[in-house]
């Protein structure tokens, strides 16, 4: 991920979003992954940057749409 990309991650069972390269989280915390991903994906689309979902153990290996750049999803 490049600086400025959005990362959704969990810490101690709580989900957060942050801008890559910054230590502070973006907005509030989330109880569910789905809620955090929805907000993170929206923030990434608004900034036209990539979005990735990570777990406490490391990168997501799902290869799902959350790891794609928003421009790649446009028709």
- Collect all residues with Cβ–Cβ distance below 8 Å to 64 and sequence separation of at least 6: 53
pLDDT score, position 72:
52
Give the pLDDT mean for 21-42.
93
pTM for the full model? 0.71
The vertex-36 CA angle with 46 and 50, nearest 5°, equals 40
pLDDT score, position 57:
47
């Amino acid at each position: 991920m490049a600086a400025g990309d959005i990362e959704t991650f969990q810490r101690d069972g709580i989900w957060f979003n942050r801008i890559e390269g910054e230590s502070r989280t973006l907005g509030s915390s989330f109880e569910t992954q789905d809620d955090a991903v929805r907000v993170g994906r929206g923030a990434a689309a608004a900034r036209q940057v990539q979005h990735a979902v990570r777990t406490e153990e490391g990168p997501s290996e799902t290869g799902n749409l959350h790891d794609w750049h928003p421009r790649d999803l446009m028709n």
